[in-house]
Amino acid sequence: MFGNFIYFIVVLLIYATYPPSDTTNFTAGETAFLFILLFVCFCGFSWLSFFRIKKQIGRQHTLLTGNRFTTIQSRLSIVAIIFFIIDIYGLNITDFLSRIHFLEIFPTIEAVICLAVFIGYLSISWGIGYSTYRRLHSTPIDRRGYVLSNISFAVPVLMPWIILSGIADIIHSLPFESTKRFLSTTEGELLYFLIFLALIALIGPAIIQKFWRCKPLPPGPARDRIESVCRNANISYRDIVQWPLFGGHMITAGVMGLVKRFRYILVTPALLQYLSTEEIDAVIAHEIGHVKKKHLLFYLLFFTGYMLIAYATFDILVYVILYSKPAYLLVTNTGYDQATLTPVLFSLVMVVFFLVYFRYIFGYFMRNFERQADAYAFSMFDTAAPLVSTFRKIAYTSGQSADKPNWHHFSISERIGFLQRCETDRSSVQRHNRKVTRSILVYLSALFIIGVMSYQLNFGNTGEKISGHFLETVLHRELEKSGDNPQLLSILGDLYSSRNDFEKTIDTYERVLAITSDSPHVLNNLAWLYVTCEESRYRNPERGLLLAKKAAALGPSPETLDTLAESYYVNGQYEDAVEAGKKALAVAEKNRSYYEDQLEKFVAAKNGRPID
């Protein structure tokens, strides 16, 4: 069930990392036909998968059949992701959607449509698998309720991104230029994200419990009992609500909310129906343990840590993979060019990185936090026997083996075994608490080191050197394959220019101009270097002026006109410098103060009083 969270986020990453293309692989009609065909194929594959297991019901042990059912659902979810990738990368459905003007203005709606495609695949698997699920669990929930329960449980994981992106769309559509400029900066993006994350962390539970259609638990013995346990633990909350998960027929509970005003304790009707009062107390003690041990706050920290780690290391990972020899051989042997391969590898690396982090790092803490919450029962009661009996009931009613492992908590058998060890040796509780504390300290230390590294990579010279080295490597490889490609040579010249490697910059730009003389960018950059280079041996004012004239003639932008004015100025042609400077200022929309200072310099030189 929790695995759907991972699937949804993976799909979101796949969508978010897809680069728009000017061309599509198929026409609109062909794409529509293939899109429908994929859904038909998925329906057929889902039907065959569940048809086989339905024949096994009654012939095999219920636990074996239940495990087989869960395996098939997971397999179909992965197949749905593969089909979604085909829709995005093969059929280019996002490129067709982006042609709609309204979606171009509000791309978040386009994202919701694409994510709905994946939900459609999963809904097919859930709908077809419903009859098998009902025979295994003897649940009165109908097919529609089963599908909607699956959707409503997993979709909230996407809500923060959708809201974040939607608000950004609205802001960019409004005439607040200064706000939009600030939000486009690194500082603005970071501030916007942190504010939004804080708001979601605080008020998200109130939204989610409404989305799950939770209702306040009516007054009565069950509510009185839960309130009493919370009072004894000194835990405050907004409300105790009924959680109608899968029709309320699952024995489970939960707690959401960092602060009292937006904290909710969730219990399913099945939990109240099938558990004794002592068992209900034990389950609520488990949820109180999550609050007391600050697990919800740490989950927020781990999520933020993922963002930091991804930001710090992702570029380097992409560089290493993309520019490594295996990737180079892949490009060479398959015939794919770098531009085609880059977005595919980009998406792949991002998905793998996410899976590794949440499966092994986040999952490690989730499992140990669950165990820590289990052990909290000993802080409130003399024994954890009611919690052990609750686990046995959950294993019996779920149709799953008690030994089945899980990425986000230990198996039921392992949880029972741990509680039984704690019954005989209460020091096991403290040892586990110390283990969790040490693990958190190690994580925070690693996060600090990665934060320092992130700063160096993204704002220091180290990152520029590393990225520059990788970029130079791939450019030379591409030039070996394609010969003297002027576009690649131009990029290489820009790279040398950023390093102030004047000799290589001049040599590379001159190679471009030997191939083609109609590149305003190269003409302008080389002209500026010839007339302003800090090392006099590389200056060539006469050639710089010639190149500047060509650049301004091909593309009279503020930059080329400014270079032309500077070239006139260096060559002593002050009147021409003033005229070119006026033109540069006239067409400049940004950084006008710079062009005004330049013009002042030229005018002063013309009047015989040059400015130092």
What is the DSSP-derived secondary structure letter of residue 602?
A: H
> Hunting for tokens 């950023």 — which residue is that?
498
**Residue 534, phi then psi, degrees to nearest 5:** -70, -20
Structure tokens at 106: 């509000």
Span 83-94, average pLDDT: 92
**CA dist 488 → 190, 475, 484, 510 (Å):** 33, 6, 8, 13
236-250, 345-359, 550-564: the lowest-pLDDT one: 345-359
Span 124-131, average pLDDT: 91
- Output the pLDDT for position 30: 93
- Output the pLDDT for position 372: 96
Which string of b and e fits 570-595 if b means at least 16 CB within 10 Å? bbebbebbbbbbebbbeebeeeeeeb
- Output the pLDDT for position 10: 87
pLDDT digits (tens, 9 = 90+) for 246-270: 777 888 999 999 888 899 999 999 9
- Output the pLDDT for position 375: 95
Question: Helices (DSSP H) in 357-485: which residue ranges?
Answer: 363-375, 377-380, 385-398, 412-424, 427-459, 461-482
The larger pLDDT score, comparing residue 439 to residue 3, is at: 439
Give bridge partners of residue 239 from the DSSP assignment: 264
- Output the pLDDT for position 61: 47
Please say if the pLDDT value at position 461 is more than 80.
Answer: no
CA contacts within 13 A on the Cβ side of 123? 15
pLDDT digits (tens, 9 = 90+) for 190-214: 777 778 878 888 888 998 998 888 9
Residue 360: count of CB within 10 angstroms of its CB: 10
pLDDT digits (tens, 9 = 90+) for 371-402: 999 999 999 999 999 999 999 998 887 767 78
Span 28-33, average pLDDT: 93
pLDDT digits (tens, 9 = 90+) for 160-201: 888 888 888 887 777 777 776 777 776 777 777 778 878 888
Residue 101: count of CB within 10 angstroms of its CB: 7
Q: What percent of the chain has pLDDT over 70?
A: 85
Q: What does the alpha-carbon distance between residue 104 and residue 119 come to, in Å, rounded to a whole number?
A: 22
User: Which amino acid does the sequence have at 561?
Assistant: L
What is the pLDDT of the chain when averaged over all its residues? 83
Are residues 436 and 368 in contact, defined by beta-carbon separation less than 8 angstroms?
Answer: yes
pLDDT digits (tens, 9 = 90+) for 333-382: 555 555 556 666 667 777 888 888 888 999 999 999 999 999 999 999 99
**CA dist 431 → 109, 418, 434 (Å):** 50, 12, 5
The larger pLDDT score, comparing residue 460 to residue 512, is at: 512
Are residues 110 and 38 in contact, defined by beta-carbon separation less than 8 angstroms?
Answer: no
pLDDT digits (tens, 9 = 90+) for 428-448: 999 999 999 999 999 999 988
